[in-house]
Amino acid sequence: MPPIDPEPGEDDKLHEECGVFGVWNSIDAAAVTALGLHALQHRGQEATGIVSYDGDRFHSHRGLGLVGDNFSEPRVIAGLPGTRAVGHNRYATTGDTVLRNVQPLYADFEFGGLAVGHNGNLTNATALRRALVRRGCLFQSTTDSEVFIHLIAISLYSTVVDRLIDALKQVVGAYSLIALTSEALIGARDPLGVRPLILGRLGEGTGGWVLASETCALDIVGASFVRDVEPGEIVIIDDAGVRSIRPFSREKSRFCVFEYIYFARPDSMVEGRAVYEARKHIGAELARESHVPADVIVPVPDSGVPAAMGYASESGVPFELGIIRNHYVGRTFIEPTDVIRHLGVKLKHSANRAVLEGKRVILVDDSIVRGTTSQKIVEMVRQAGAAEVHLRISSPPTTHSCFYGIDTPERSKLLAARLNIEEMAALIGVDSLAFISIDGLYRALGEGKRNGDVPQFCDACFTGDYPIPVPDVTNADNRQLSLLTESR
């Protein structure tokens, strides 16, 4: 049974689907936001946008492509005046990247303007959208995030914050949300805190504040980390400072464990853990669980590097860069021709024969999605003369789709949902294959073991244990409903 190839334009990775950034009280709010979005580029590369407020009017610039493609010209930043701004990076499933879906979304209300950027996915968006359309709401985009705008618009509460709370109480799903009004910058996280959101400060005494998906966006703008926005918390930043509201009853957090494995940037601190260290610990645990005699430990770059370092240090086998990544493959091949697509991973990776020839190689990667990339990388390593190839994966097998804001193929396309480990190893062409166990993953993150009643993280793509209901998914086998809204 062959792996199922990605569609044209897709690669064989899970994708974080959005990054958000907001700034309050900075002279160069739009430029600061562009820098923050640049640091969050790994969370979405297909579109980006900034909305600023100058004390009188809102200004918006949104475009397809990278932050650098859209915000490097001074005239664009000059067109976004004001000391407050919010921005958004978006990854969209293939074919759905159109300008009307690019965030932040903006709307004028009776109370004034409101810009909203959302990271996550609403799992009752289809039902809500149907109900809203029946009530006469006219949707401008196909994103689930627009549901927030309409729920706020029809709310009978008077203040923006009360309307937002009213909206949040009707949605089901994962969200880290930033909103900008004429009065305040607002951040909100879903009650289980599945997606990250942090609060930073722009400089003691300046009254400047930042909200961002990850701490790596603070360093680039010279802000310091204050704290994570807590699950279920709404943070309101205005001229009086920072206020916190807790409209939901407190629940145990279920942060996305895949952020530690792959999504977050390795130099970020996430929920009190350094991502880089977490990945090294995961690699070390993987070595304890599944080491075999070998001559070199080789990461699949870039994401496999920290785990491979941890693996090498635990096993005592030398770490070598046996695969070199070409960092200059980019927009040129965004719509690949058949010929270029056939070249596959060779565009991005090449084998370092000097390291691999005649060696027993342990390849370390972060995940297997469809298996197509793994298959091609293993073939490349064998062609470079490796005597044995053993593949070690720093996540448990990805057996289920994510409905909380990560672009995952349908379950039927996930290799680990279709084959057992021996079958996967045979298909990928390795001498042995092992994944970290779910308990090993929890151990590596310092949690002892997975709490079966209420696990410490969301790990649904490995276990099928979905912490938030997924009402828009109707089939018992977790096949994705073709959502009326675009999955994002």
d(CA 347, CA 333): 9
Work out how close the CB of 124 gets to ligand SF4 at its nearest, in angstroms, rounded to a whole number.
16
- Smaller CB separation from ligand SF4, 116 or 256: 256
**Residue 380 engages ligand SF4 in binding (rule: CB under 6 A):** no
- Smaller CB separation from ligand SF4, 312 or 402: 402
Say if residues 201 and 224 touch (Cβ distance below 8 Å).
yes
Determine how many CB atoms are found less than 10 A away from the CB of residue 388: 16
Name which position in 256, 298, 308, 389 contacts ligand SF4 (CB under 6 A): 256
Identify the DSSP state of 204: T
**Residue 257 engages ligand SF4 in binding (rule: CB under 6 A):** yes
Say if residues 258 and 461 touch (Cβ distance below 8 Å).
yes
**Residue 438 engages ligand SF4 in binding (rule: CB under 6 A):** no
Convert 17-46 into a string of H (helix), E (strand) and C (coil). Answer: CEEEEEEECCCCHHHHHHHHHHHCHHHCCC
**Residue 258 engages ligand SF4 in binding (rule: CB under 6 A):** yes
- Binding map of ligand SF4 across residues 396-435, x = CB under 6 A, - = no contact: ------x-x-x-----------------------------
Is 458 an active-site residue?
Answer: no
Determine how many CB atoms are found less than 10 A away from the CB of residue 278: 26
> What angle (nearest 5°) sits at the alpha carbon of residue 33, between those of residues 29 and 34?
120
**Angle, in degrees to the nearest 10, between helices 305-315 and 275-290:** 50
- What are the residues whose beta carbons fall under 8 Å from the beta carbon of 478, sequence distance 6 or more? 400, 401, 411, 464
For residue 389, give both structure tokens. Answer: 């190839």
d(CA 105, CA 179): 9
**Residue 282 engages ligand SF4 in binding (rule: CB under 6 A):** no
For residue 1, give both structure tokens. Answer: 């049974």
Kindly identify the residues of this chain, within the stretch 445-484, that bind ligand SF4 according to CB under 6 A: 458-461
**Residue 194 engages ligand SF4 in binding (rule: CB under 6 A):** yes
d(CA 355, CA 299): 12
Work out how close the CB of 408 gets to ligand SF4 at its nearest, in angstroms, rounded to a whole number.
7
d(CA 351, CA 299): 11
β-pair type (360-365, 296-299)? parallel
- Smaller CB separation from ligand SF4, 92 or 114: 92
Say if residues 381 and 363 touch (Cβ distance below 8 Å).
yes
Which residues are registered as beta bridge partners of 298?
363
For residue 346, give both structure tokens. Answer: 């060779």
Catalytic, out of 18, 256, 402, 458: 18
- Smaller CB separation from ligand SF4, 115 or 402: 402
The count of chain residues that interact with ligand SF4, using the rule CB under 6 A, is 11
- What are the residues whose beta carbons fall under 8 Å from the beta carbon of 111, sequence distance 6 or more? 158, 159, 160, 181
Q: Which residue has the tokens 């494995």?
A: 261
The residues that touch ligand SF4, with contacts defined as CB under 6 A, are: 194, 256-258, 402, 404, 406, 458-461
Question: Residues with catalytic annotation?
Answer: 18
